[in-house]
Chain A
Amino acid sequence: MATLAPTVAPPQGGQVGKDEEPPGGTTRVLGVFKATPFTYATLIIVSAVLSVPLVFAVSIALSTDHTVTTNGFTIFPSEFEWRNFTRVFDGDLPMGRFLVNSLIISLGSVIGQMVSSGLVGYAFARLRAPGKNVMFLVVIATMMIPTQITMIPQFILFKDLGWVNTYLPLIVPNFFSNAFNVFLVRQFVSRMPSELDEAAMVDGLGFFGIYRRIMLPMLWPVLIAIGIFTLTYNWGDFMGPLIYLNDESKMPLALGVQYITTTAVAGQPPPWNLVMVGSILLTLPMIAVYYLGQRYLYEMDISGGSAGVK
C-alpha cells in the first residue's frame, strides 16, 4: 500500500501554515474532516440499528406474563409492567440473592487484585534482586497461556480442597495477582520519580514503609483502573461460576439469569420479561462503573487495552 509519508517534508522554517491561522485559535476544517449529509445519515442508521437489541430488551422487560406466553413482543415498549422490576425481588426468583452473590464475588476479587498486584508490581519496578529480570519475563510469558489449559487441573485442585460449590475458587486466585495487572502497576511506578523513595530511604523508612506510606497513596489511579477491570470481568464472568457453583442460592447474577431460562416448565417459554429485568440489572452497574471510572481509565491511557477483549 502506498503511503504518502515519505513525500511529506517536515514543516519548513517559515511555518507558513501557522501564520495563516485565523485569530481566535480556530483552524479551517480540512476536506477529510467535513461532515456531509451522508455522514449523518450513516451515523443515525448505525446508532439506531445498534440500539435495537437494547430497546427490545427493555420492551420485553416491561411486558406482561400474558405477552410472554403468546410471544407478542414489540420492538418498542407497548405496555409498561413496572411491577416486573419489584417482582424479581419478592417472588420465587432469587434475583436479590443473585445480586448479593455477584457483589461478594466481584468485590472479593477486586480487593484481592488491588492488594496483590500493587505489591508485586511495585517490587518489579523498584526493588533490585538477583533473578528479577528472568522472573519478569516469566510474568509476561504467562499472558500467552489460555485459561482453558489450567481450567481442568484447577477444578481438580479446588475439588480436592472441598471448595466446589463455594465462592472460594472464584475469589481466592485473585489474591495472587495476575500478569496483566502486575505489568500495569510496574509501568505506572516506573514513570514516577525515584527521588521520593530515595528520600524516604534516607529518612530511615523501611521498604514496606516506603510502599505503604509513599507509594500506595500515589498508586490509586492504577489501582482503581485494576479494580474496574477486575470488577467488570468478575461481574460478567459466566464460565467460572458455571464450573464451580451448582446451588441456585450461590449463583451470581450472570449465571443466575441464564439459569432461569433453563428452568422453565416443559412446553412453556422461559419468563423472558423477568430474564430481561435480570439482564438490565446485570448491565446497569457496568454502565455506571464505566462512566464513574472513565477518568481513571483515560488517565492510565489503557482504556481500550482490555475493555473490549472479552
Chain B
Amino acid sequence: MAMSRLRRREALWFYVFVSPWVIGFLAFLLGPMISSIYFSMTDWDSFTPPKWVGLDNYTKLLTEDPVFWKALGNTLFYSAVSVPLGLLVGLWLANLLNKQVRARKLFRTLIYLPTLVPLVAASLAFRVVLAPSGPLNDVLGWVGIKGPQWLLDPSWVKYALILLSVWGAGSATVLLLAAMKGIPRELYEAAEIDGAGPVRQFWSITVPQLTPVIFFNLVMGLIAAFQVFSQVYILMPKASQPGTYNASQTMVPYLFDQAFSYYHMGYASAISWLLFAVILVFTLVAFRTTRRWVFYETEVK
C-alpha cells in the first residue's frame, strides 16, 4: 500500500526528529553494550590488545573472588535494609504530617531538606557527623553508649551507609503524603462509624491504599541502592583504611576500582553484567509478587 505524499513527508520528519535519540542509542547504549559483552570475555588493560578468555572472568568472579562475594553480600544487605526502612520511616512521617498539624509546612520542609542536599555534600557532612568523636557518638555518650567507629570498623560501615540513606527518607515522606491526600475521605468516615480506631484505620485503609506507590518506590529504590557509589567512595576513602577496605566493599565501587584503578577492563565489564543480572532478578521478583500485596482500586470495583 503506497503512502500518500503527505504521510511520507510526515514519516520522514519523524525520523529527522527522533534522530538524536537514535544516534545516541546506537553510539552511547547499544554499541557500548555489545562491546561490553565482548570486553567481559577478554583480559584487557585498555592499552595493549585484548586477549580472549571466554567465560573465565565470570567463573573467576563467581568461584575464586572472595571480595566480589563480600561486595555482593554487602550491597544486598545495604539495599534490603535501607530501602524498606526508608519507606517505613517515610510512611510513619507522612502519616503524622497527614494529621491536622499546626506548622505542617515547617515540619515538611525540615524533613524534606536533607533530600535537597547533593549526595557529595551529604556524604562529607556524614563523615564528620560519624567521626569517632563526632556529634552522633557524643549523643550516644550522653545516654551511656560508647559509639562505634562507624567508618573504620567494617562491621559498622554498612550501618553508616544505611543511616545516610534513611536521613533522606523525606523524599518518600513527601510522595506518600501526596498519595495519602488522594485517599477518599468516605473510607475513613465509614471506618469511624464502624468503630475502627486510628491504628486499625492506618493498617486497613491507609496502607492498602498506598501499596501501589509503596511498590513503585520499593522497586526504584532497590535499583538505585544496588548502584550505590558516591557515598561509599566518600565515606571510606581507600587510603585511610587499606585493611578494612575490601571487607566493606560494595558492587559499583568494586567495579570502579577494577576498571579505573587497576585497569582490569574485562574483569570490570563482567562485574557490570553480574550487577545487571542481580537488578533484573530483583525487579522480576518484585513484579511477580505484586498481585499478592499490591492493592489496585480497579480490582474491587
Q: B71 near A: Cβ within 8 Å?
A: no
For window 172-211 of B, CB contacts with A under 8 Å fall at 172, 174-175, 178, 185-192, 194, 196-198, 201-205, 207-208
Chain A minimum-CB-distance residue to B107: A43
B140 within 8 A of A: no
Given the complex, which residues of A lie within 8 Å of B255, measured CB to CB? Answer: 148, 151
Contact A116 B21 (CB under 8 A): yes
Q: Are A8 and B190 in contact (CB under 8 A)?
A: yes
Residues of A contacting B154 in the complex (Cβ-Cβ under 8 angstroms): none
Instruction: Tally chain A residues at the interface, Cβ within 8 Å.
Output: 103
B150 within 8 A of A: no
A134 close to B (CB within 8 Å): no
Q: How far is the CA of A135 from the CA of B248 in the complex (A)?
A: 42
Known interface pairs A4-B204, A30-B189, A33-B99. Does A56 touch B128 (Cβ–Cβ under 8 Å)? Answer: yes
The reply to whether the CB of A283 lies closer than 8 angstroms to some CB of chain B is yes
Q: What is the predominant secondary structure among interface residues of chain B facing chain A?
A: helix
Flag if B27 contacts A176 (CB, 8 Å): yes
Q: Which residue of B lies closest to A306 (CB)?
A: B220
Instruction: Please tell me which one of the listed residues A116, A255, A283, A309 contacts residue B116 in the complex, with CB atoms under 8 A apart.
Output: A283
Within 8 A of B (CB), among A116-167: 116, 119-120, 122-124, 127-130, 132, 135, 138-139, 142, 144-157, 159
Interface class of chain A by DSSP: helix
Across the interface, do A40 and B24 meet the contact criterion of CB distance under 8 Å?
Answer: no
Q: What B residues does A308 contact at CB under 8 A?
A: 115, 168, 171-172, 175, 217
- The verdict on A67 contacting chain B, using a C-beta distance below 8 Å, is no
- Tell me, in angstroms, the Cα distance from A50 to B29 when the chains sit together: 39
Whether the pair A53, B14 counts as a contact (CB closer than 8 A) is no
Residues in B lying within 8 Å of A, measured CB to CB: 7, 9-15, 17-18, 20-25, 27-29, 31-33, 35-36, 39, 46, 93, 96-102, 107, 110-111, 113-129, 131, 133-136, 138, 167-168, 170-172, 174-175, 178, 185-192, 194, 196-198, 201-205, 207-208, 217, 220-221, 223-224, 226-227, 229-230, 233-234, 237, 239, 252, 255-256, 259-260, 265, 268-269, 272-273, 275-276, 279-280, 283, 293, 295, 300
